[in-house]
Structure 1
Amino acid sequence: MTSRTSSGLPRRTFVVTAAAAAAAAATAGPAVPAAAATAAHRPSGPRTGPVVVRTTAGRIAGQRLDDVTVFRGVPYAAPPVGPLRFASPRPPEPWNGIRDATAFGAPALQTDYLPDSSEDCLYANVWTPSTTGRRPVVVYIHGGGWFLGAGSEPDYDGAKPAVRGDMVVINFNYRLGLLGWGLHEEFTDRRTSSFANWGLQDQAALLRWVQANAAAFGGDPGNITLAGTSAGGSSTWQLSLLPQLRGVIRRAIPISAKHVWNPASSTTPRESREVYALLASRLGTTVAGLRGVSGPELKAAWEELYSGDPSDRPVAGWREYRGPVPDGQWMRGYDHELPTPQIPIMPVYARTEGSFFTGGPGYPYPGPHPTDDAELREAVFMVLRKGSARVGLRDADQAIAFYRKAAVADGLPQDPMSLWSEIWGDGLFRYQIVRLAERHAREGRSPQYLLEFAHPVRAPYSGTPHEATSKFLFGSHALPANAPAYGDGPLERQVSDTLIDLVASFARDGRPVSPHAPVWPEFAPRTPSTLVVGGPDIARVSATFKERQLRYWDRAGWVPRT
């Protein structure tokens, strides 16, 4: 049996020598009860070397690196290629011998962002302080607008949170773009009767794999917390609502969730059918025949269909992002239409979500950036068109006037770039995050802790942009590529430690605490109950910041009210 390297080339099953296996076994010890799995029980064995564990599909060899053992490129499902394209994920094929798990699997098929992407992509990565014990497990879903990204990105290296939080950290790849998100009955899987949202199905399969294999990595299969950022935060929320996963996900941490609605980041079932039919026609085949088209050719046709001005496309939906489509099985409705999750949740948002998109680190917006009122009007109009097919310049004028007045009242910047950033971030992200948190506080039946991440980036960037949180959750703010924007001084390291502490303690027993943070109450609207993390004071409890700005979206009729 072969696997794939990060370059997508075949990789033979790796058989560990008897001596290496014996060295790996030397790190083993008696099982540690879950209540006693603390930092005091970290292993004292070799600081480097192979470590072998048995998964449900066979034995794998990871690598011990100082205080953490890492397993990379572990298959959690069969490659979704050939007849399994547009099909529900299947269990991985068992193997004999010991499989090498020291190299990442290929990222899911995508354009340009990550090299060597492939349809053969369903691999997981595991970081653990020890393969013995019963630690809390945190599963992290990467973001990327449902069409980019991978668990192998350096930003999501799980070593620091695994060691500091004494927990098992797992991330993974899932199908992206048109191979992961859409709906058509001609793709109906005879085994499962599913015909939509294959990326969400992959994520559900990963969670079941984690439940079945957590103990092999020193994790507690009964204590799995799901977390994710952006599109991954959206998936975290939606998976937490699924009856199919009841009892698998114990707690959820949706971070900067891009809650889905039509037409901004979803479409209707009817339009999704039209899109696949149109692609089939352009490629000279049937909808079912799209399984036989080469991946790059199929992806190129999809991207051409969704390029350019949203108003010029054959369908109105999926205007900004192409995420999940309500199918009645894997997504029973949009988040604003459904009850909030009935498990403990810790929603997180960044203070200025929009500054990532208007020129923040990692997102080189090509411009032009607005410098006066006329350019601001056009820029805001462009943002509003991401969420609705029926907006005009008058809507842009109203949004700008409201936000400018709110900025004056709150003593916030009123320059065109700042107003543009706030409108973008609030409309597409922060509004629904906060309003759904308020709804859960009124109607939900489980504990909820709301966190605002507010550590500022360095000039020439501004604010606390979307995706800043992941840099501090994983400690990747310190990477050479990130440090100039996010910083790597004593303050940044303490902010990172605090965020990891809060996530780890919440994952352990549902009570988020840190030595650097005050007592954090459950969220209650219009009272000081949001924990703000970042800045010189590290953490503080506060009322919802920029509340008056959110009132614009209550009445705008642009984003669905929750």
Structure 2
Amino acid sequence: MGVMQALVKWAIAAAAAALALPATAQQPVEIDAPAGAARGTQADGLKLFKGLPYAQPPVGERRWQAPADLPRWSGVRDATQFGASCIQPARRGESIYADDVGTTSEDCLTLNVWAPENARNAPVFVWIYGGALTTGGTRFPMYDGAALAKQGLVVVSINYRVGALGYLAHPELSAESADGVSGNYGLLDQVAALRWINRNIAAFGGDPKQVTIAGESAGALSVMYLMASPSARGLFHRAIAQSAYMLSTPELRAERFGAPPAEAVGAWLQGQLKAGSLADLRAMDAQALTEAAVTAGYIPWGTIDGKILPAQLVDIFDRGEQAPVPVLAGFNEGEIRSLRILLPPKPADAAAYEAAIRKGYGDLADAALRLYPSANIEESMLATTRDAMYGWTSERLAAKQSAMGQPSFLYYFDHGTPATEAANLHAFHAMELPYMFGTIRQTAPDWPAIPDTAAETALSQAMVEYWASFAKSGRPQAKGQPAWKPYGEDQAYMHFAGAPRTAADPLPGHFELHEEVVCRRRAAGIGWTWNVGVIAPDMPPQAPGCR
């Protein structure tokens, strides 16, 4: 037999063997946790348990109540399928973010666990999805926890209530609460999931004393809420906030910073839905209620209630009352390129643009125009909203945790691919997700394609290792990559653009400008959201404590 024939015969035999016993063949695996016994799957050195309930379903009279503990379930629970996603609006139109949420239900308070098969006291990484507190789920392939788990972590992803079902405040709901408050139910779900993890994760090989909470966009907002909430204190030990936004937040009964009281919004929505009482609202079909709330213009937020969220996030972080934990935070260059709905109308020309900036920024207008010049109005408008929401928040998180003596690490994701450049979506909002999850081949159906190249794989591997090592030790490291310096060292940050590289003081002057703007607005009682740039309200005068 010739050498070529022998090689062909060997290759056919090897392929047949591989088909008979594939490396990824799943085998059943069981655990017995305090919550109950469960049967999941095992493959490639990992155990996976899906759809584990962590609280009683919030249906019927439980709708708009804090999640209640589940008694231990009997028998061995099947944990091979994701649980239902929480009720959310049906997909409307095309979106690069759209993915299959599968079945939706009010019975949705479940979580999923990826664990190394021999894990013992492994650090735990808890993922909180984004989606504007309106949409999201844990079943998306992009959120697959396998790559992070292969770094030695136990990875958990959690479902939580969104939309009106998750965040509605209402006078009747406050009246029936022992604390006299309402709203924040989705946040309370997250706290309940962390408590479940604290009680049960050791059965999966995780260490309840090494828990990192992580999220992107509304998930990162949730991370900040958890850092600020006394109810979550001690349930996590590190925090990752990707594209977080520390905006002014409605208060339960007071009209502040231009926002109506959250209870008043709930009463308004009741009227919009033509419901005569809280009982009528609870009797409504969950999907119909959710769709009608969106149509009416309801926007879910956390509620400053003095209990779950004691005060505005800026105040809590200024006073050093947040969780004293290491933080990894950052934002993307093109945050608003995929969120243009946040942009105001574009002025007709440079003169109109400059006039609007001078009117809104007053004595700060020269600084604003230096940073956001009229030479390219579109790019300046994209950058203004990006920096006011995401850049300012990310750097503020790093600065405030550093002031507490906690290691804090800042990043700036500035990477593009041929598909994103062609679509003018360079480093768009959430683009870093498949890189840090190691799922660049598992993105959403309409996600701009990521080339199958060594460079893209290397960038993803570096980010997976940085994120995993932060969850392990509180310090991000990656083999063969630059050392990530803490922010406290000369405003240091990691610049992800093709490959990681270290730098200092991202976007000089931008953070300082927006910190001054927010400081003055707080003193004058004006909200700080995406009302910036050409639609900024007249700038209040310099206030004590600003600058």
Return the structure number with greater relative CO, CA threshold 8 A, min gap 6.
2
The answer for the alignment partner of 1:167 in structure 2 is 153
Contact 1:376 1:416 in 2 (8 A): no
Cα deviation code 1:230-273 (max 9, x no counterpart): 11111112212333333221111111112231469x98696221
The SS at the match of 1:209 is helix
Contact 1:108 1:174 in 2 (8 A): yes
Cα deviation code 1:482-520 (max 9, x no counterpart): 774443321121111111111211211222211132222
Which of the residues 68, 73, 96 maps onto 1:90?
68
Distance in 1, matches of 2:148 and 2:300, equals 31
Structure 1 segments, 4+ long, off by >4 Å, are: 188-194, 266-270, 365-372, 374-378, 396-404
How much does 1:322 deviate?
2.4
Greater gyration radius: 2
Percent identity over paired residues = 29
The answer for the alignment partner of 2:226 in structure 1 is 239
Distance in 2, matches of 1:455 and 1:484, equals 13
After the TM superposition, which of the residue ranges 54-63 and 75-84 deviates more from structure 2? 54-63
How much does 1:467 deviate?
0.9
Cα deviation code 1:424-472 (max 9, x no counterpart): 211222112213422333x313221222222224322333222112121
AA aligned opposite 1:350: N
Residue 261 in 1 paired to residue 248 in 2? yes
After the TM superposition, which of the residue ranges 551-560 and 66-75 deviates more from structure 2? 551-560
List aligned pairs for 1:338-349, cutoff 5 A: 338=316, 339=320, 340-349=322-331
How much does 1:140 deviate?
0.7
Which of the residues 349, 359, 365 maps onto 1:373?
349
How much does 1:134 deviate?
1.7
Unaligned runs of 5+ in 2: 1-22, 92-100, 522-526, 530-545
The SS at the match of 2:105 is coil
Contact 1:353 1:426 in 2 (8 A): no
Distance in 2, matches of 1:75 and 1:210, equals 11
The answer for the alignment partner of 2:379 in structure 1 is 418
AA aligned opposite 2:34: T
Contact 2:250 2:301 in 1 (8 A): no
The answer for the alignment partner of 1:406 in structure 2 is 371
The answer for the alignment partner of 1:530 in structure 2 is 493
Contact 2:270 2:281 in 1 (8 A): yes
Distance in 2, matches of 1:509 and 1:501, equals 12
Cα deviation code 1:341-399 (max 9, x no counterpart): 311111222233222313xxxxxx69999596389959x99xxxxxxxxxx99439999
TM-aligned CA distance change 1:57 to 1:554, over 3 Å: closer
The answer for the alignment partner of 2:261 in structure 1 is 271
Unaligned runs of 5+ in 1: 1-44, 308-320, 359-364, 382-391
How big is the alpha-carbon RMSD for the aligned residues of Structure 1 and Structure 2? 3.4
TM-aligned CA distance change 1:459 to 1:196, over 3 Å: same
Distance in 1, matches of 2:351 and 2:67, equals 47
AA aligned opposite 1:221: P
Distance in 1, matches of 2:364 and 2:426, equals 20
The answer for the alignment partner of 2:120 in structure 1 is 133
Distance in 2, matches of 1:142 and 1:399, equals 36
Distance in 2, matches of 1:368 and 1:336, equals 25
List aligned pairs for 1:306-385, cutoff 5 A: 306=297, 321-338=299-316, 339=320, 340-358=322-340, 373=349
AA aligned opposite 1:182: L
Distance in 2, matches of 1:115 and 1:483, equals 18
Contact 1:355 1:422 in 2 (8 A): no
Residue 459 in 1 paired to residue 421 in 2? yes
TM-aligned CA distance change 1:149 to 1:129, over 3 Å: same
The answer for the alignment partner of 2:217 in structure 1 is 230
The answer for the alignment partner of 1:362 in structure 2 is none
After the TM superposition, which of the residue ranges 146-155 and 182-191 deviates more from structure 2? 182-191
TM-aligned CA distance change 1:241 to 1:263, over 3 Å: closer
Contact 1:144 1:231 in 2 (8 A): yes
The answer for the alignment partner of 1:449 in structure 2 is 409
List aligned pairs for 1:142-157, cutoff 5 A: 142-157=129-144
The answer for the alignment partner of 1:35 in structure 2 is none
TM-aligned CA distance change 1:194 to 1:555, over 3 Å: closer
TM-aligned CA distance change 1:131 to 1:94, over 3 Å: farther
Distance in 1, matches of 2:365 and 2:191, equals 41
Which of the residues 423, 433, 436 maps onto 2:394?
433
After the TM superposition, which of the residue ranges 550-559 and 165-174 deviates more from structure 2? 550-559
Contact 1:124 1:172 in 2 (8 A): yes
Cα deviation code 1:159-218 (max 9, x no counterpart): 11111x211111111000111113234224556765320001000000011111111211
AA aligned opposite 2:268: L
TM-score between the two structures when normalised by the length of structure 2: 0.79
TM-score between the two structures when normalised by the length of structure 1: 0.77
The answer for the alignment partner of 1:504 in structure 2 is 468
The answer for the alignment partner of 1:316 in structure 2 is none
Which of the residues 402, 425, 431 maps onto 1:468?
431
How much does 1:422 deviate?
0.9
